[in-house]
Structure 1
C-alpha cells in the first residue's frame, strides 16, 4: 500500500517477520508524529545504535530479581483496590443487589502500581504525573479525531495551551524528582530499587565505565523513558483486566478452575461468581 509518496509493505508471514525483526539497522522505525513524540518518546522511537545503547541501560529494570520486587507492589495495589470495591457491600442489604461500575477501579489499579514501581518513595508525585499524562492523552486523542487543518496545532487555542502546559508540568515534575535523586546519589546514598532509580544507577555506571558523559542517558532521555513506562502499562493493563472479566463470564468453567488454583495459595477468601447478568451488554 501507499502512504502518500511512500510505499509500504505489510508482512504476514511469521518466517519473514523473524528475518526482518533482528535487522535493526536495515529496517528502521518510521518517524514518530508530533503526538506520539509528546506522549511516549524514548526507546520505542529510537533506531540503530541509539536503540541498542538505551536498551542495554534499561534492561536491568526487567531482570528477574527486580520484577520480584515489583510483585510486592502489584500485590499491595491489588489488595488495596479489592478493599475499595469491598466497601460497597455495606450499601446493599443481605438479600439485595446493585450495579457497580468497576472501570474506575480497573484504571486506578494499574496507575497505582506503575507510580509505585516507577517512582518508589515519590509515589504521590508519581501518581500526579500519571494523572497529567492521562489527561494529556485525552487531549491528543481529541486532536487526532478532529478535522486536520495545517498549522492549527501552532495556534494558541484552549486545547493547545492546556496540552503544552501539561507537557511542561510533567517534564518539570520528573526533572525535580531526578534532581533530588541525583543529589542523594552524590551524597553517597543508595539508589532506590524502582524504575527511576535503576535507570539513574545504570546510566551512572555506564558513564563511570567509559569515563565520559557521552555515554549513559541524559536527563531528557530518562524523562522520556518514565513517560513511556506509563503508556506501556496503563491502558494495556486496564484493557487486559476488562477482557479477563469478559472471558471469565463467557466461560464459567474457567472461573472454577481459577478458584481451585487460587485456593492452593490463598486462605479465607470469598469468591464472587461472575455471570452475564454481572455486566451490562
Structure 2
C-alpha cells in the first residue's frame, strides 16, 4: 500500500509539475513567452486575441500558439510532412474516433498510408464517384418537396445535409447500402455518437488524469469505438471473401485493400479500419458543414443565391448535370472558398515538433506542442482588410487561390504543407454536385427561429441547428 501511494504521488508530481515545467523552461529559454498557468486548468482564460505568438497552457500541457502567417511559413519551411508529430494528449483521447488512420500515424507509417490512399483521389476515380452522389442528394430534395407540400417549409438543413453526406460517403467510398439498419447507416450513427461522446468527455484535455473526470463518457467512447471497429472488420472481411484476385472495386476501400502492389505498401486490417473511420468521419463532415454554412449565407445574401442559380442554368439549363463542366462553376467555387474562410470546418490544427526548428533567432524545441489558429488568421483585418467579416465571394475573382489575402499562409482552408487535406478535390466536387441540385429546385431564406451560434465540436457546427425557410421554384 505504501509503495502504491508513493507511485501515485510521484506520478502526480511528474504529470502536474516536473514534465510541464521542463517543457515550459525550454520554450522560455528559446524566447517564447506567455501568461503564467494556474493549476489545474492552465491559462486558457488568460489567452488574448491581440497576440499572434505566445505560450499557453491546456491544463498541464504547454502549447506554442501561432496565428502569424509569416512565422508559420518559416516554421514549416523545410519540414516534410512525415516529420510532424501528433500531439499526444489529443492522440490518446481521439483514438476511438480515428483509430490508426492517417491523422493518427507518424513518420514512415504516415508516408505509407499517404502512398496507399492518394490514388483514390485521382481525377478518374473522382469522376466515377460523381454520378453516385446524385441519387442520395435527389432523395433528400424529394423529401424536402414533400415537407413543403404538407405545409412544413422550415427545414433544419444542417441535419438533413449531414445525413445525406453520410449516405454519399457510405456509397461512394465503401459501396455500402444506406437503408435503415444497414451497415452504412449504423456506421454513420455510431460515428456521430462517438464524436458527441468524446467532445463531452474531453473538456479537460491536458489536465492530468482528465479521463477519470468523466469516466462514464470515457468508457462509452471506448465501447462505441470497439463497436465501430467490429462493424468495419465485418465489412472488410466480406469484401475479402468475395474478391477473386482480379481488379478490386474502384472505391476507397477497394483501393486501400489492394495497396499499389509494392512490397511494404499495404495496410493491415487494423490500419484499414482506422482509415475507414477517419475518412468516413472527415469525408461527410467537411462537405456537410460547408454546404450548411453556404445555405445560411445564401439565405442572408439572396443576390449571391441568384447569381449561383443563374450560373447553374447557363451551364446545365434544366437538364442533368454534366460532370465535365463542374469546373466551370466559377462563382460557386468563389462562394465555397469564402465560406471556408468565414466558417472553417477545422478552425485550428495541431502539430508536435519532432526536431528542433529554428525560426530567425528563436528555436522551437523538439517535442513542442504547436496550436495553429486558422480561424484567427482567416478573420485578421491586417491580412484581409476592414471587410474581413463580410461575405464577399468576389474577393476571389482576381486572386482565385488566396482571395487577396496579404500573405499566402493566411488562408489555409485545407491545412498546409505536406499534411494538406488529401480529400480536398473530393470535397469540391461533392459541394458543386449537391449545391447545384439544391439551387435548381429550391430557394432559401432565413427562418425566424434560427439562432446564430457557431460551436466547436472538433469541427465548427451550428449549435442549435440551421433552420431555413425552403421554397420550391
TM range (shorter): 0.7 to 0.9
Q: What is the CA–CA distance in structure 1 between the aligned matches of 2:94 and 2:85, rounded to whole Å?
A: 16
* Change in CA separation of 1:277 and 1:45 when aligned onto 2, cut-off 3 Å: closer
Q: Distance in 2 between matches of 1:52 and 1:162?
A: 32
TM-score (norm 1): 0.82
In structure 2, the residue matched to 1:274 is 444
* Cα deviation 1:21-71 (Å, max 9, x = unaligned): 651355433224323222124112222222111101000111011111111
Match of 1:117 among 172, 177, 181: 172
Structure with greater strand percent? 2
Counterparts of 1:21 and 1:216 in 2: how far apart (Å)? 30
Q: Given the alignment, which residue of 52, 76, 90 partners 1:20? A: 76
Equivalent residue for 1:49, pick from 97, 108, 126: 108
Contact 1:43 1:225 in 2 (8 A): yes
Spell out the pairing of 1:215-234 with structure 2 (5 A cutoff).
215-234=265-284
Report the Cα offset of residue 133 of structure 1: 0.9
Deviation at 1:258, TM superposition (A): 1.2
Q: Which runs of 5+ in 1 are unaligned?
A: none
- 1:73-84 to 2 correspondences below 5 Å: 73-84=132-143
Over the aligned positions, Cα root-mean-square deviation in angstroms equals 3.0
Q: Secondary structure at the match of 1:275?
A: strand
* Equivalent residues in 2 for 1:239-278, closer than 5 Å: 239-264=289-314, 265-267=316-318, 271-277=441-447
Three-state SS of the structure 1 residue aligned to 2:442 is coil
Matched, 1:88 2:147: yes
* Distance of aligned partners of 1:114 and 1:151 in 2 relative to their CA distance in 1, 3 Å threshold: same
TM-superposed CA distance for 1:230, in Å, is 1.9
Specify the SS of the correspondent of 1:100: strand
Task: Report if the CA contact (8 A) 1:43-1:54 is conserved.
Answer: yes
Unaligned 5+ runs, structure 2: 1-54, 320-438, 452-473
Q: How far did 1:175 drift?
A: 0.8
Taking structure 1 as reference, are residues 50 and 151 closer, same or farther at Cα in structure 2, changes over 3 Å only? same
Q: Distance in 2 between matches of 1:113 and 1:5?
A: 39
**Which position in structure 1 is the counterpart of 2:192?**
134
Normalised to the residue count of structure 2, the TM-score between the two structures is: 0.51
State the partner residue of 1:184.
242
Shift of 1:254: 0.9
Higher fraction of helix: 1
Alignment size in residue pairs: 269
d(CA) in 2 for partners of 1:63, 1:36: 29
Displacement of 1:118 in angstroms is 2.1
1: CA distance, partners of 2:267 / 2:110: 12
Residue 195, structure 1, aligned to residue 252, structure 2:
yes
Tell me the alpha carbon deviations over residues 84-141 of structure 1, each in whole angstroms, 9 at most, x when there is no partner: 111113312xxxx743333321221111111112210455312211211111111111
Whether the 8 Å contact between 1:20 and 1:27 is mirrored in structure 2 is no
Distance (whole Å) between structure 1 residues aligned to residue 276 and residue 77 of structure 2: 25
Cα separation, 2, equivalents of 1:175 and 1:194: 17
Tell me if the contact between 1:58 and 1:199 (Cα under 8 Å) persists in the aligned partners: yes
How much has 1:78 moved relative to structure 2? 1.2
| Change in CA separation of 1:266 and 1:18 when aligned onto 2, cut-off 3 Å | farther
Query: Are residues 247 and 49 of structure 1, via their aligned partners in 2, closer, same or farther at CA, if it must alter by over 3 Å?
Result: same
